[in-house]
Every structure is written in C-alpha cells, then in structure tokens.
C-alpha cells in the first residue's frame, strides 16, 4: 500500500540519531510522563510554612522543580555551547546521557530524601543543553531539506509507537513495583543511548556563540517572531505534562492514566507515518493554520471533560490533529537552522525555550495561587500558546 512507502534517509549517522532519540523517548515515556504526578506527591518540609492546601502544595512542588530546571538551562546555555564547539557534537550527546543518568539516579534516591529532586532538577537543566542542542543540530545537518518532513515523520511514527505502549507499562510498574523500580529501568535504558552516541561521527562546529550575539539576534524582528512561536510550543508542551497530572487527579490512579493515554495514541499512529512525506511535497500552510486552530480549541475543551471516555476521545482527536501540526512546525524551524551559524541557532532556540519555561511556570504559580478556576485558566494559556506557533516560518524573510 502506498501509505507505507516512506522516503526517509538511511545515512549512517541518521540511523544512530534515530536510535538515540528512540532510546531516550522510551525512557521519557516510562518515567518523565509520570514525573508531574511524582513531584505532586512529594513533601518538602519548608512548604508547611506557607499554609497551602494539599492541592496547591503539590502544584507548587511541580512548579519549583521545573522552574529550577529551566533557570539552570537558560543561564548555562552559552557556556555549554562553547564546550560543544570545543569538543564536538558527539561529546554533547555523551555528556547529555551522562547527566541524564545522574538525573535519574537522584530521582531513584529521592525516596528517602525528597530534596534530591532539587539536585536532579539542576542536573536536568544541564543535560537539556548538552543533549537537545546536539540532537537538533545533527538532525538538521544530516537531513536533506527535501526529506526533512519524511525523516521527522519516521521519527514521530516510532515515537508514537513507543508512546502507545510505554505510559501503560510505566503506570503498571508504578502500581505494582513503585517509582524506584521505574527509575531504575529508565537508568538502564538510557545507558543504551550511550552506545549509539559513541558510534556517531564527532562533528566540530566553530560558531561564535555569546550573550552579545544572542542579544543581537533578538533585535531582529524575524527572530523575535520565531521566538514567540518557540514560546508557544513550550506553553503547549508543558501544559501536556500538567494534563497528565490533571488526568491523575480525575482518574485517581497512575495505571489508569497510562492505559487511556496509550489508547488515545493508537489512532494517531499511522497519521504520523504518512504525514511527513505529504508535508515535504505539499507545504500545506493552510492546513497548518487549520490544525493549529483545532488544537487551540481542544485545549479549551479540556476544561470540560470529567470522565474516562471523554478524556480518551479528546486525547485521540487531539493526537490526530497534532500529528500534522507539529510535523509542519518542527520541519519549518529545523530547516531554518541549516546553513551558517547553525549551532548558534539551535543554542539560542533552546535558551528561548528555557526562558519561555521560566515565564510559564511563574504563570502556573500565580494561576493556582489566585484563580479559583485554575485548570481552565491554564488550558486557556495553552490554547494561546498553540496560536503563537502559527507564527513559524520556514524562511526568515517569509511574511505570509
């Protein structure tokens, strides 16, 4: 059948990049999917001084961990980029995996000392820059521009395949064996990514990355517009993390959250398989605008679902639409990173993403402290975030 014909590239490095991404996503879907729930259930002794309700204390735990992560990520971005320039991209992958292992190890040990979660947050902020700047630079560099959508489509198909299985498995492990077993499994899986990282060619990049250059880029109208689209993407992604927590509060169990999230991904699986090649051949900007509009509406509707089946149906429809929308979005900004100063572009993109995260989590703190309808307000913020992603353009001089 023609739907299964996929013209993705099969170069050596791309194969290893796909493998690294899949190994990491398997660990993410097993562990990171449930981390907001884990953070929500922690108790930091200093929180009792503020007289918060259990709900607000749990939310502030989540805010504190992610806020610390992205403060570290933002302020370490330039320094880590200089390390990547000096030692090469392969070292970035290796350091990313090393820090991710330390991050998971701290989570594993946090059962007896919850403050280790804050140490884990600092380590996570460092690994974000090592891994994602190396990954995005390598994927953009090694992907042919005419096959970028197909390459992303293949990755997303495989990621959705993992996401269809891993959350249900992760929820089952938490219920039967506990979070510590889950973290231990994640640690073993991440070590597999180290093997594929060693097999990569070590590309060295000589970009003059600095705070001064970052400030100069931000003065360009086209880059500011691009920055808003990145911020919108983070608002959406972070809200999805909190949607996991919202489902847990409604359903009352981690295994239930995993089962129904996995079920909702089943329908989206084959859409992500075929959408990439379609986008390469048909730029589909109008379809991108329409899909963004629907995703924005779906966020508003999340505030009105209160049972298992409405959650499952909404998740499924959302994933079907998102399969196209985020493929177009990712293809556009990754292609824009080709050419001169490519590493600078991805480093500054990650810094903007981190700054957006800082703003988002401060907003979450304000929303849940002052607003009675906090969840609905949060979903409106996510809805606006999706609309901001519609500002993305493949070329900096493209206005329409």
pLDDT tens digit at each of 400 positions of the chain: 333 444 455 667 788 888 898 888 888 878 877 888 889 988 888 888 888 888 899 999 999 999 999 999 999 999 999 999 999 999 999 999 999 999 999 999 998 899 999 999 999 999 999 999 999 998 888 877 666 767 677 777 777 777 667 766 777 788 788 888 888 888 888 888 888 899 888 888 888 899 999 999 999 998 999 999 999 999 999 998 898 788 777 766 555 555 555 555 665 555 555 554 555 555 557 778 888 998 999 999 988 877 777 777 777 778 778 877 888 888 888 888 777 788 999 999 999 999 999 999 999 999 999 988 999 999 999 999 999 999 987 666 554 4
What's the predicted TM-score (pTM) here? 0.88
Fold (CATH) for 10-391? Growth Hormone; Chain: A; (1.20.1250)
Domain locations in the chain?
Answer: 10-391
State the pLDDT at residue 257. Answer: 55
SS (H, E, C) the chain: CHHHCCCCCCCHHHHHHHHHHHHHHHHHHHCHHHHHHHHHCCCCHHHHHHCCCHHHHHHHHHHHHHHHHHHHHHHHHHHHHHHHHHHCHHHHHHHHHHHHHHHHHHHHHCCCCCCHHHHHHHHHHHHHHHHHHHHHHHHHHHCCHHHHHHHHHHHHHHHHHHHHHHHHHHHHHHHHCCHHHHHHHHHHHHHHHHHHHHHCCCCCCCCCCCHHHHHHHHCCHHHHHHHHHHHHHHHHHHHHHHHHHHHHHHHCCHHHHHHHHHHHHHCCHHHHHHHHHHHHHCCCHHHHHHHHHHHHHHHHHHHHCCCHHHHHHHHHHHHHHHHHHHHHHHHHHHHCCCCCCHHHHHHHHHHHHHHHHHHHHHHHHHHHHHCCCHHHHHHHHHHHHHHHHHHCCCCCCCCC
State the pLDDT at residue 39. Answer: 92
């Amino acid at each position: 059948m023609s739907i299964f014909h996929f013209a993705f590239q099969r170069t050596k490095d791309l194969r290893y990049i796909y493998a690294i991404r899949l190994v990491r996503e398997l660990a993410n879907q097993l562990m990171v999917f449930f981390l907001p729930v884990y953070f929500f259930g922690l108790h930091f002794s200093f929180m009792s001084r503020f007289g918060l309700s259990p709900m607000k204390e749990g939310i502030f735990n989540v805010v504190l961990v992610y806020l610390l992560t992205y403060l570290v990520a933002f302020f370490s971005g330039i320094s880590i980029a200089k390390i990547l320039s000096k030692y090469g991209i392969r070292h970035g992958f290796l350091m990313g995996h090393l820090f991710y292992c330390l991050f998971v190890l701290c989570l594993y040990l946090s059962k007896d000392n919850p403050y280790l979660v804050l140490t884990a947050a600092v380590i996570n902020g460092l690994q974000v820059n090592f891994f994602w700047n190396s990954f995005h630079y390598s994927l953009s560099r090694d992907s042919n521009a005419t096959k970028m959508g197909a390459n992303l489509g293949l990755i997303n198909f495989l990621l959705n395949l993992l996401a269809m299985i891993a959350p249900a498995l992760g929820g089952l492990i938490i219920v039967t064996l506990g979070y510590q077993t889950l973290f231990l499994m994640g640690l073993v899986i991440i070590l597999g990514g180290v093997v594929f990282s060693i097999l990569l060619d070590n590309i060295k990049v000589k970009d003059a990355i600095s705070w001064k250059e970052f400030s100069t880029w931000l003065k360009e109208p086209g880059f500011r517009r691009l920055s808003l689209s990145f911020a919108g993407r983070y608002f959406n992604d972070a809200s999805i993390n909190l949607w996991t927590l919202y489902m847990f509060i409604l359903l009352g169990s981690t295994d239930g959250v995993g089962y129904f999230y996995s079920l909702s991904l089943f329908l989206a699986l084959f859409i992500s398989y075929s959408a990439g090649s379609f986008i390469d051949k048909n730029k589909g900007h109008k379809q991108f605008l329409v899909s963004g509009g629907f995703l924005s509406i779906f966020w508003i509707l999340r505030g009105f679902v209160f049972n298992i089946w409405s959650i499952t149906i909404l998740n499924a429809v959302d994933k079907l639409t998102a399969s196209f929308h985020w493929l177009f979005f990712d293809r556009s900004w990754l292609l824009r990173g080709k050419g001169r100063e490519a590493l600078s572009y991805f480093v500054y993109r990650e810094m903007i993403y981190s700054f957006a995260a800082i703003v988002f989590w401060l907003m979450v703190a304000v929303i849940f402290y002052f607003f009675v309808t906090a969840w609905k307000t949060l979903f409106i913020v996510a809805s606006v975030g999706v609309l901001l992603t519609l500002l993305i353009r493949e070329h900096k001089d493209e206005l329409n």
